[in-house]
């Protein structure tokens, strides 16, 4: 960039149903870097935005959950490919938002991209690992298979704005669920850029919806929404987690409770974030001539 050229700045918006709308409320909030300097005005998602996102996620569920595991794996791998092309941009945003050195920011971005690759490889193995034939005591063929739970609301980690976000979003999508994510409130910018990646990675519209804003405000609406099947409270404020879990009980949502402290996201996640958002379907059929 030549020194006398004035940069074109980005408008940071929501990512809902494959598009980038502003909040219907017209609200924005100031996002600052780790030192407090102004970075951008982010869209401040409202209740209506959350509800729109749930409608989009429900609408996308049949196609995404019905896609072959191989196809889902390729799409998720494509996310990693497209992220790789924006590596520098992610590093800059993560470094600014989280106050990391450039080498630590790079490590976080590397790990985030690699996490998509890791999960991409899981889609077509879960069935064999978590399902199987059941040797029932009778003339029946009986098998169980994992299936996605449905629409999952995710309150993303507040500190780790990209690696943490990917670590909670990717497993939800891997299982075939669709997601409505509330991003880190103070560090939402990498999430918006991730939305741009998802929009150009063959992830069908509505499969992942990213709302920048306040989990304490939006969380209760998602927790009590009857068309949300599960909620991940990882990024919920500690003093609100119990209330959110109580609200989620109204429609028997699957709940992932928040950890006492935000974990080290670079650790191997195992299956711990996949299985909470998987159901098991068991099918019986008689054996006979």
Residues that bind another protein (CB under 8 A): 129-130, 132, 134-138, 140, 142, 144, 149-150, 229, 241-243, 245-246, 248-252, 254, 270, 272, 275-276, 279-286
SS3 content of the chain, % helix, strand, coil (to 5): 40, 20, 40
CB contact set of 255 (below 8 Å; sequence gap of 6+):
230, 231, 233, 245, 248
Own/partner pairs for 22-28, CB < 8 Å, 24+ apart? 23/49, 23/213, 24/48, 24/49, 24/52, 25/49
Minimum distance from CB of 255 to another protein (Å)? Answer: 8
For another protein, the closer of residues 3 and 288 by Cβ is 288
For another protein, the closer of residues 83 and 151 by Cβ is 151
**Residue 78 CB: number of other CB atoms within 10 A?**
18
Minimum distance from CB of 150 to another protein (Å)? Answer: 8
Residue 240 CA to residue 100 CA, distance in Å, equals 28
Minimum distance from CB of 147 to another protein (Å)? Answer: 8
Minimum distance from CB of 285 to another protein (Å)? Answer: 5
For another protein, the closer of residues 85 and 259 by Cβ is 259
For another protein, the closer of residues 148 and 195 by Cβ is 148
For another protein, the closer of residues 11 and 282 by Cβ is 282
For another protein, the closer of residues 88 and 242 by Cβ is 242
Residue 243 CA to residue 201 CA, distance in Å, equals 36
Minimum distance from CB of 134 to another protein (Å)? Answer: 4
CB contact set of 287 (below 8 Å; sequence gap of 6+):
139, 140, 141
Burial class (CB in 10 A: 0-12, 13-18, 19+), 183: buried
Minimum distance from CB of 280 to another protein (Å)? Answer: 5
What tokens were used for 222? 């998602």
Asked if 154 and 179 count as a contact pair (C-beta separation under 8 A), the reply is yes
């Amino acid at each position: 960039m030549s020194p006398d050229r004035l940069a074109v700045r980005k408008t940071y918006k929501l990512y809902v149903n494959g598009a980038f709308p502003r909040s219907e409320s017209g609200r924005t909030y100031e996002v600052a870097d780790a030192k407090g300097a102004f970075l951008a005005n982010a869209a401040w998602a409202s209740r209506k935005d959350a509800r729109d996102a749930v409608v989009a996620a429900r609408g996308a569920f049949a196609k995404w959950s019905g896609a072959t595991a191989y196809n889902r794996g390729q799409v998720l791998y494509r996310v990693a490919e497209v992220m790789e092309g924006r590596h520098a941009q992610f590093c800059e945003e993560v470094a600014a938002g989280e106050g990391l050195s450039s080498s630590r920011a790079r490590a976080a971005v590397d790990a985030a991209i690699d996490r998509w690759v890791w999960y991409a490889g899981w889609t077509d193995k879960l069935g064999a690992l978590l399902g199987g034939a059941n040797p029932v005591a009778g003339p029946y063929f009986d098998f169980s298979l994992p299936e996605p739970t449905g629409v999952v609301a995710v309150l993303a980690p507040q500190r780790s704005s990209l690696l943490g976000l990917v670590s909670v979003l990717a497993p939800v999508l891997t299982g075939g669920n669709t997601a409505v994510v509330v991003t880190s409130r103070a560090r939402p910018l990498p999430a918006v850029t991730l939305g741009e990646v998802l929009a150009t990675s063959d992830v069908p519209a509505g499969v992942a919806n990213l709302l920048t804003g306040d989990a304490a405000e939006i969380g209760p609406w998602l927790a009590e929404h009857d068309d949300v099947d599960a909620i991940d409270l990882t990024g919920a404020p500690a003093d609100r987690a119990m209330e959110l879990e109580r609200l989620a009980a109204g429609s028997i949502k699957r709940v992932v409770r928040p950890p006492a402290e935000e974990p080290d996201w670079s650790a191997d996640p195992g299956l711990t974030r996949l299985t909470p958002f998987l159901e098991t379907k068991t099918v019986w059929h008689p054996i006979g001539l």
